[in-house]
Structure 1
């Protein structure tokens, strides 16, 4: 049966070899045969530029290109960790970059996909930070810095983020229901797929005066997860790494 796969929040890093191994296994065993693979952000724990010679990046790019060349179309939406991932890496990996919000028509089903951080509107501090780091001039300035300087800045920012999140409630860091309903109403969809919150679940709701659902992908910490869309519908699947 035709199938399209969605994943998010893998957070690949050299510090987590088990997650890398699990992801590469997924690309070799689960993904082949699918019509397409959509990666909805935070593929990497951190991204400081396509010129970073990190061997992990080269390994992942090669695995994704092999999948793409086998006939599985690969797409990527930026996350809050890897929003600087650019066309240079995308070409190397054989995947297509998509905008932050994308409508996908699959098997007579209309879906809205995104990373999900823009839905967390109760976290005002994060939303201010997001607006700042998405300024194109600031991104160009950062990418022009020496690699070692970018690494130090990224490390400092990750530490600051961890400290800030320790003092935030889980509710603040989750999506805002009104924001969810607004974006689904705007795009006239009954199914939304996203990641970011690390709260895997399928939520039933009402949008446009009809039954709808919000499907949330999990982070690849202790297990992997994907959403599989077929002509029969959409299914959340968790699996061991």
Structure 2
């Protein structure tokens, strides 16, 4: 079993070089994987079902759809592309994981916890409360009915708002990470922090592994798991 993990690609119509890099990556690494996990923020923003009919991400969606015919691809929503719907799953074959951007799987008898990572920060500030309101089901029902031009403008504003906090200030809260391990996780894999790292921990006398994935600002960054071994590649 070979599993492929990546996140924080932040595809954008403005970043054509990044899109081309991502398509080359999928063509090379995708067919070698038995399962693929996207841990959020694949897109710089996603305005809902209307985006499926727009040219912004057409190449990436078609590439993912081709891969999804031969292997399962799982998508955990991030803090930029959270209006993924059943329509996305039906159109591409990519399985959108429901709930608060987290998922568990088993590898070599170990429990692996996957998440985008924003909830590992433990934020309670005003910006986080705004984010939670925007992600609410009630707001989504209104947002997806807006004209495309209005939805785009709002998404661009939210994108700008979310970049006001420097990435270097985004860090996981050790207490929250340890709590996840105490709840039974042996391995935690997270995106969001834009930094590739592996940290071996000992929690209540038990060995644990915390892995964070980098973004794609400068290059490919991904994680491969095969036979219970974890290998970070690239590094942003």
Unaligned runs of at least 5 residues, structure 2: none
Number of the residue aligned with 2:118:
117
Residues of 2 paired with 1:156 and 1:182: CA distance? 34
- Correspondence 1:224 to 2:220: yes
**Residue 181 of structure 1 pairs with residue 178 of structure 2:** yes
1:175 Cα offset (Å): 0.9
> Against the structure 1 CA distance between its residues 30 and 117, is the aligned structure 2 distance closer, same or farther, given a 3 Å change threshold?
same
1:64 aligns with 2:60: no
Helix, strand or coil for the counterpart of 1:55?
Answer: coil
Aligned residues: 233
| C-alpha contact 2:41 2:80 (8 A) present in aligned 1 | yes
Of residues 165, 168, 174, the one that matches 1:170 is 168
- Structure 2 distance, partners of 1:232, 1:61, is 30
Cα separation, 2, equivalents of 1:10 and 1:189: 26
Whole-Å separation in 2 of the counterparts to 1:126 and 1:216: 23
Between the aligned partners of 1:212 and 1:46, the Cα distance in structure 2 is: 33
Shift of 1:122: 4.3
Match of 1:9 in 2: 8
Residue 13 of structure 1 aligns to a residue whose secondary structure is coil
Q: Report the CA distance between 1:60 and its aligned residue.
A: 1.6
Residues 166-223 of structure 1: CA distance to partner in whole angstroms, max 9, x if unpaired?
Answer: 5xx834x21101011112222x011100100101111122224212111011101111
Give the TM-score, by structure 2 length.
0.92
Deviation at 1:233, TM superposition (A): 1.4
Q: 1:178 & 1:124 partners in 2: Cα distance? A: 18
| Contact 1:202–1:213, Cα closer than 8 Å, also in 2 | yes
RMSD in angstroms over aligned alpha carbons? 1.8
The separation in 2 between residues aligned to 1:157 and 1:15, in whole angstroms, is 17
Distance in 2 between residues matched to 1:156 and 1:202, nearest whole Å = 34
My pick for the range that moved more, 93-102 or 213-222, is 93-102
Measured against aligned partners, the alpha-carbon deviations of 1:128-156 in whole angstroms (never above 9, x if no partner) come to 12321221111111111111111111122
2:131 aligns to what?
Answer: 130
Q: Secondary structure at the match of 1:110?
A: strand
Which structure 2 residues correspond to residues 178-217 of structure 1 after superposition, within 5 A? 178-186=175-183, 188-217=184-213
Tell me the SS of whatever aligns to 1:197: coil
Give yes or no for contact 1:121–1:127 (8 Å, CA) kept in 2. no
TM-score using structure 1 length: 0.90
Could you tell me whether the CA contact under 8 Å between 1:190 and 1:207 is conserved in 2?
Answer: no
Q: How far off is 1:239 after superposition?
A: 6.7
Classify the secondary structure of the residue corresponding to 1:170.
Answer: helix
| 3-state SS of 2:49 partner | coil
Question: How far 1:125 sits from its partner (Å)?
Answer: 3.2
| Counterpart in the other structure of 1:156 | 157
* Preserved CA contact (<8 Å) 2:219 2:235: yes
